[in-house]
Amino acid sequence: MQYRTLGRTGVQVSTLALGAMNFGRIGRTTQEEATALVDAALDAGINLIDTADMYGTGESEEMVGRAIAGRRDDIVLATKAGLPMSEERNHRGASRRWLVTALDASLRRLGVDHVDLYQIHRWDPATGDEETLSALTDLQRAGKIRAFGSSTFPAHRIVQARWAAREHRLSGYATEQPSYSLLQRGIEAHVLPVTQEYGMGVLVWSPLASGWLSGAVRADRGLTGHRARILPERFDLTVPANRARMDAVERLAKVADDAGLTMIQLALGFVTAHPAVTCALIGPRTLDHLRAQLAAADTVLPADVLDAVDGIVAPGTDLAPQEKFDTPPALLDAALRRR
């Protein structure tokens, strides 16, 4: 396992980190299975675990808390807040009112007195940066969080938040957690140059592109598996973007074969090769999934392989831009474009 410094925090984290979204009802993972995954990940050298309050409406945090009991100090623990936790309109967002309440609930579910990294799950256009950053700074000074970060923020929002922190003499986001994979390279054009400029840590999610890069999705076999069942629209080959992805996967599979790599090794080795990326979040549901992904822990891709990848999916290109979750609200809601 390789380790890198998480931005300018001084904290050393493994280049593969354990994402816990699949713990509980989302991934149909039991507590026993989740604990086994945590045990195996820690034994392999992974030291960062990432979860969120909305994963299973708190279920993932509870399962992580039970799995890490008695060894909290050996783990860099990260969670997130901001996405809806109920139908109540104020049980979401990045206001001081909600973040203070949400963090206390997360700490209670995790069974800890602090988290190492607290992340705003999505940019909240209804809340000003000063409101959010002042709340996070106060929570940091209270010792409930060690550092805080953003998740899936557009580049211009990262810049705006950095300006607001400096203008109001507040702590700023230490990390960003964007989507990044062989098939979704858009952040190379905007987000990663900004995070590099500010010295931010970058934890990338969905490096296997929701299963497209797991090796299980190929043109000569049916599109099956857990993700295909819960997100059928992402694998429907009548959709042009999905046909483009399938074509890219077939060509990338040949690159992997020629290099003597699995698709997982190619996919994870690619995202961790970028100098702006600190670690890749993997989200296994089973021990077999975890073992296959751990095989990429020390993968270093040579220049000719990276060049071959660039020839298939151009740098800075998203093959499925509709899945980025960072589209400005005015592009999604016509009412925001009109007076």
The H or E element spanning position 62 is helix 59-68
* Ramachandran category for residue 171: left, alpha or beta (phi over 0 → left; psi -120 to 50 → alpha): beta
Residue 136 makes CB contacts below 8 A (sequence gap 6+) with 99, 118, 120, 145, 148, 170, 171
Q: Is 55 a catalytic residue?
A: yes
Selected catalytic residue, list 3, 55, 118, 180: 55
**94 in Cβ contact with 120 (< 8 Å):** yes
Question: Two tokens at 168?
Answer: 């109001």
Q: Under a CB-based contact definition with an 8 Å cutoff, are residues 189 and 316 in contact?
A: yes
b/e per residue, 46-83, with b = 16+ CB within 10 A? bbbbbbbbbbbebbbbbbbbbbbeeeeeebbbbbbbbb
Question: Which residues are marked as active site?
Answer: 55
